Structure 1
Amino acid sequence: MTKYLISFPSGAMDLRGEALQAVSEAAHAVVEEAKDAGVWVFGGGIDESVPPVLVDEDGTVTEGTYPQTKQLEGGYAVLEVPSREAALAWAAKIAAACRCAQEVRAFQDDPAS
């Protein structure tokens, strides 16, 4: 089984009012389906009101992020599924619920995680 990151930037989903409520309900239904199927690992949205910080190896905290990381925001799900095809099928369900395309990336295999 491989873990996959399925994500979208917050700007990809520009919804308001009733449409936002409908998307929220549809997305939560997919999350419940993934949990029931036993593939859900973790998911959520980045709290964009909390600014990022970098923590150095000596514990020094600096406001901001890596220069090459312009922005990290939006919604994320980590699923553990048996194949890339399964990850793409779940991404399609999330895309339909959220009404926006999803990026899919595989995590490297790590037997310890």
Structure 2
Amino acid sequence: MTKYLISFPSAAMQVSAEDLPAVSAASHAVVREAKAAGVWVFGGGIDESIPPVLVDGAGAVAPGTYPQTARLEGGYAILDLPSRDAAVEWAAKLAVACRCAQELRAFAFDPES
């Protein structure tokens, strides 16, 4: 099994306030389905009200982030799936529920995890 990251940036979800309850219900239904199927690992949205910080090896904290990840936000789901085809199917379900395309990435295999 491979763990897959399915995600979207906040700006991709163009949903009116009126439609937000339906989108929320649909996305939670997909989460429940993934949990029932035993493939759900973790998911959620980045809390964009809390600014990111960099923490070094000594534990010092500095405001900011790496330049290439400065716009890391949106929603994320990690699923443990048997194939890329299965990951595409779950990404499509989330795309329908969230009303926006989903980015799909595979985590590299780590025999220690």
TM-score band, normalised by the shorter chain?
over 0.9
Secondary structure of 1:76's partner? strand
What is the count of residue pairs matched by the alignment? 113
Normalization by structure 1: what TM-score? 0.97
- In structure 2, give the amino acid aligned to 1:111: P
Mark the runs of 5 or more structure 2 residues left unpaired by the alignment.
none
- 1:100 aligned partner: 100
Normalization by structure 2: what TM-score? 0.97
- 1:78 aligned partner: 78
**Residue deviations 1:16-44, cap 9 Å, x none?**
22211100000000000000000000000
- In structure 1, give the amino acid aligned to 2:99: R
- In structure 1, give the amino acid aligned to 2:21: Q
- In structure 1, give the amino acid aligned to 2:100: C
- 2:63 aligned partner: 63
Q: Which moved more, 1:30-39 or 1:12-21?
A: 12-21
Distance 2:43 2:5 in 1: 9
Trace 1:1-113 onto structure 2 (pairs within 5 A).
1-113=1-113
CA deviation after TM superposition for structure 1 residue 14, in Å: 1.8
Runs of at least 4 residues off by over 4 Å: none
Distance 2:42 2:36 in 1: 13
- In structure 1, give the amino acid aligned to 2:29: A
Calculate the aligned-residue CA RMSD, in Å. Answer: 0.8
Overall identity of the aligned pairs, in %: 73
